[in-house]
Amino acid sequence: MKKNYYITKDGILRREKNTVYFESGGERRILPINNIYVIYAYGRITFSSGVVSYLSKNGVPIHFFNKYGWYEASLYPRETILSGDMLVKQADHYLEKEKRLFLAREFIRGCSYNILRNLERYKDNGLEGEIEEINSLSAKLDEMESIPEIMSIEGNIWNTYYHGFNKFLPTSFRFDKRTRQPPENMINCLISFGNSLLYSAILTEIYHTQLNPTISFLHEPSERRFSLCLDLAEVFKPLLTDRTIFKLVNKRMIDEKDFRKELNYCLLNDKGKRIFLENWEERLGRTIKHRTLGRNVSYQRLIRLECYKLIKHLLGEKTYKAFRIWW
């Protein structure tokens, strides 16, 4: 089974015949390309066109992150699964108002349900108000007749959810509001770091399907971003990003010494990044028995299955229902 590969140091990728090496600090390591699913690069990487060609030939994408840990770009192999019919159907569901509204509402329904599952795990911490408010907001989705109105509901759900964090996270990780660029404190830093990982993980799975990552339904498509990843991320943030954070923080696996604080922002240091990446990879690799397939699938595989569900909806085969945590 192929594995995700993380590069956290600055270095050089070299190709010699059919072997790729990563060189850093006088060390040389072979990258087992045939066993690598995707590469996440957190260091400054230099590489030749030969490396690019070889990775592309083997269908291995590289996602690049800047010094803050935020997603910057991807070296995306040429698509091998293309479908003009799918592209037309995907664009049609974006252009037709009711079709787009249906998908936008369903993404938020799935997101809201998964958020509530997270809060219910900590309901003894006095989260009744947040749970009631999110249920109330979700009930209004059918009344929303435009994307901006749906996005407003989405924003209020996330704000209510984040407000509840202070009731079950340690005091040192409490925060007043969500801040992104730059994140002003440790919890905002962890959320941004995790969401960047999720964004790139979803892009990797979309690559293996007929979907076009630039055509979205909840978020507006725009230049220089794969907005369909943002749509699907709404559904998976509670399971993948947030539960990773809850584990790290509540089990004291990460603390203040794992961050680098500047004047107006807070970032993970090298040790903090390694801790997060190790636990992120562990979570992606977890398995659960799928209720429909009747076999165990990894959390990472759930993302691909969500893409397939969306494809079936676009083709008119089966109405899309966003992923909901069932365990």
Domains in the chain (CATH in brackets) are 3-60 (3.100.10.20), 84-314 (1.20.120.920)
Alpha carbon of 68 to those of 63, 106, 189, 262, 318: distances in Å?
A: 14, 32, 9, 12, 41
Return the pLDDT at 176. Answer: 84
Return the pLDDT at 223. Answer: 62
Return the pLDDT at 278. Answer: 97
Return the pLDDT at 282. Answer: 97
Return the pLDDT at 323. Answer: 98
Residue 244's contacts (CB-CB under 8 Å, 6 or more residues apart) are 194, 276, 279, 280, 283
| pTM, rounded to two decimals | 0.93
Return the pLDDT at 182. Answer: 78
Return the pLDDT at 265. Answer: 83
| First CA to last CA distance, the chain | 25
Return the pLDDT at 84. Answer: 86
- Give just the sign of the alpha carbon dihedral 310, 324, 109, 188: negative
The residue ranges of the chain whose pLDDT is under 50 are: none
